[in-house]
């Protein structure tokens, strides 16, 4: 499995990334390990805004790239209404991505802490 995730930072900005081990990657961002993204190293991660699951890493890369090309209003619209996925990403097969809208940052950080 591969995951595309969007984090909301303390300054209100959004960071989008991919991971195969989502819990580890989120912990990297929160704990600011050397493996965390430069973007999140200098910003506090506030919450997990969204996660999509896909079986193929290549599909995750395509979605991450497509999200990076969206404007902030488009990203906000997507987060508010997941049914916009096909309209925002017409070249991606929507059935290849499974949104996990109810996941919280704490769900992933706690699992590895136990």
What local confidence, expressed as pLDDT, does residue 114 receive?
Answer: 46
Q: What domain range is 25 assigned to?
A: 2-113
Q: How far apart are CA 14 and CA 68, in angstroms?
A: 10
pLDDT tens digits, one per residue of 21-42: 999 999 999 999 999 999 999 9
Tell me the average pLDDT across 67-92.
97
CA distances from 61 to 20, 78, 95 (A): 11, 18, 16
pLDDT > 70: what percent of the chain?
96
What local confidence, expressed as pLDDT, does residue 108 receive?
Answer: 87
Sign of CA dihedral 100, 36, 21, 114: negative
Reading the block at residue 25, the tokens are 């990657």
Q: What is the mean pLDDT of the chain?
A: 94
Q: How far apart are CA 35 and CA 83, in angstroms?
A: 33
Number of domains comprising the chain: 1
pTM for the full model? Answer: 0.92
Residue 2 pLDDT greater than 60, yes or no? yes
* CATH code, 11: 3.40.1440
Higher pLDDT, 110 or 58: 58
Question: What pLDDT band is residue 49 in, cutting at 50, 70 and 90?
Answer: very high
Residue 111 pLDDT greater than 90, yes or no? no
């Amino acid at each position: 499995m591969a995951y595309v995730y969007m984090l909301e930072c303390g300054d209100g900005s959004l960071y989008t990334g991919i991971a195969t081990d989502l819990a580890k990657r989120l912990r990297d961002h929160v704990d600011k390990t050397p493996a965390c993204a430069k973007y999140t190293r200098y910003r506090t991660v506030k919450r997990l805004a969204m996660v999509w699951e896909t079986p193929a890493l290549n599909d995750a890369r395509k979605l991450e790239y497509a999200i990076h090309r969206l404007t902030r209003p488009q990203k906000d619209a997507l987060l508010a209404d997941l049914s916009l996925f096909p309209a925002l990403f017409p070249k991606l097969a929507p059935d290849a991505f499974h949104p996990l809208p109810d996941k919280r940052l704490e769900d992933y950080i706690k699992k590895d802490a136990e």
